[in-house]
Amino acid sequence: MTQTLRLKKNADRRLKAGHLWLYSNEVDIEATPLKGLEPGAQVVVEAANGKAMGVAYVNPNSLICARVVSRDPGMRLDRSLLVHRFNQALSLRQRLYAKPFYRLVHGEGDLLPGLVVDRFDDVVVVQLNTLGMERLAEEVVAALDKVLSPRVIVFKNDSSGRRQEQLERQVTIAKGELDGPVPMEENGVRFHAPVLDGQKTGWFFDHRTNRAWLNGLVAGKRVLDLFSYIGGWGVQAAAHGAREVLCVDASAQALERVAENAALNGLHEQVAVGEADAFEALAALKADGEQFDVVILDPPAFIKKRKDISNGERAYARLNREAMRLLGRDGLLLSASCSMHLAPERLVEVVRGAVRHQDRHGQIVYQGHQAADHPVHPAIPETAYLKALGVRVFRD
């Protein structure tokens, strides 16, 4: 017998509009005490009048206390539904991409809240970010086996979000064997992605289309790639004809991978690396009189929570200001943000302020978003998190 979760009067509006999240203050705790529900269990969600609205998994200890997994109250999130959703997700990616390197499951965007799956051909990397998904780990493996039969399945369960769900952070291999980075390709350039010990799942597929745009503008240019990670932007720029690329990151391990990925494409002479904090690197390069034709800013999220917005916006503003100082008379800035809490118009404002601070002119010539393998759920603004601006910065 499945338990129920009764909502307060009018608290079903967002659900009717298509949203998948329920907050603890929307639950009628007189009718269905939240604390009486087993964390991670699946429940039937009811409107205040008792009408069944769908099935969700719950976590009474989280602000988002339930996430809807089906509109059909008779369904359960099990191996069968996972197989169905994986097949739906796969059909989209196969329409989009000729090669099997992409995000296969993008959480709520693919109607599977709390689940991320990135595919590197026959290696898949899974992130279970909620207790409800954690409880389905075995079913996820079985469903992936049925849909893709991959050689290796990695659980990269080390995201900070797991802490909010009171889950341990760990990396395990659920199927097969893996002892190092895995080969992949993006925009015609080859990489080795460190799926076991890299950031997130080892690679950031979300910037694929933004990189493709920039790749068309770098031939013969001198390029600075800040927060380079393993060279997604910088190595691709070199592969598309950049004269010289400097990749800067605070992680020595990431920069070793940049060098390996450059060599993999025969680009070791064009790509140099520098280990430094980005702000310190910008100051040092300015002091040395260095200039670049293109500067790429793809920082980690400076705004993790809503309360960080003002500090985060100041950090983005400072970063963009300092980066512009390194551009020549007529340069190109690629300014990105993966902070969900930074509205797109605020990034435009950051760039505008930085251009004026340097007494230059700016022209926004490109506005980019996350790639299509990171689909946006139209009822959940939080699923549209990535922003990228291509800005021509010039003097009179």
Q: Residue 359 has what DSSP assignment?
A: T
**Closest-CA residue to 201 (of 126, 257, 123, 108):** 126
Question: Does the structure show a pLDDT above 90 at 160?
Answer: no
224, 273 contact by CB (below 8 A): no
What tokens appear for 60 in the block?
A: 């009474």
Report the C-alpha gap between 82 and 112 in whole angstroms: 8
- pLDDT tens-digit map of 51-80: 999 999 999 988 899 999 999 999 999 999
Report the C-alpha gap between 152 and 173 in whole angstroms: 7
Q: Give just the sign of the alpha carbon dihedral 205, 210, 215, 220.
A: negative
Question: Does the structure show a pLDDT above 90 at 249?
Answer: yes
Beta strands (DSSP E) in 181-313 are 182-186, 189-193, 222-226, 244-249, 271-275, 292-297
Q: Residue 358 has what DSSP assignment?
A: T
Query: Residues 276, 248, 243, CA angle at the centre, nearest 5°?
Result: 145
Domains and CATH numbers, the chain: 4-70 (2.30.130.10), 79-179 (3.30.750.80), 183-394 (3.40.50.150)
Determine whether 65 is an active site residue. no
**What number of other Cβ atoms are within 10 A of residue 76's Cβ?**
15
Long-range Cβ contacts of 102-107 (<8 Å, 24+ apart): 102/205, 102/373, 103/205, 103/206, 103/371, 103/373, 103/374, 104/373, 106/373, 106/374, 106/375, 106/383, 107/383
pLDDT at 1: 57
What is the pLDDT averaged over residues 127-148? 97
The values of phi and psi at residue 127, to 5°, are -120, 120
281, 248 contact by CB (below 8 A): yes
Name the active-site residue from 15, 56, 336, 338.
338
pLDDT at 396: 85
**Closest-CA residue to 68 (of 48, 52, 80, 79):** 52
pLDDT at 163: 80
pLDDT at 304: 86
Residue 28 pLDDT class (50, 70, 90 cuts): very high
49, 8 contact by CB (below 8 A): no
Q: Strand, helix or coil at 389?
A: strand
Q: Strand, helix or coil at 36?
A: helix
* pTM of the complete model: 0.95
253 alpha carbon, distance to own chain's centre: 21
pLDDT at 303: 85
- pLDDT tens-digit map of 312-371: 899 999 999 999 999 999 999 999 999 999 999 999 999 999 999 999 999 999 999 999
What tokens appear for 307 in the block?
A: 């309360």
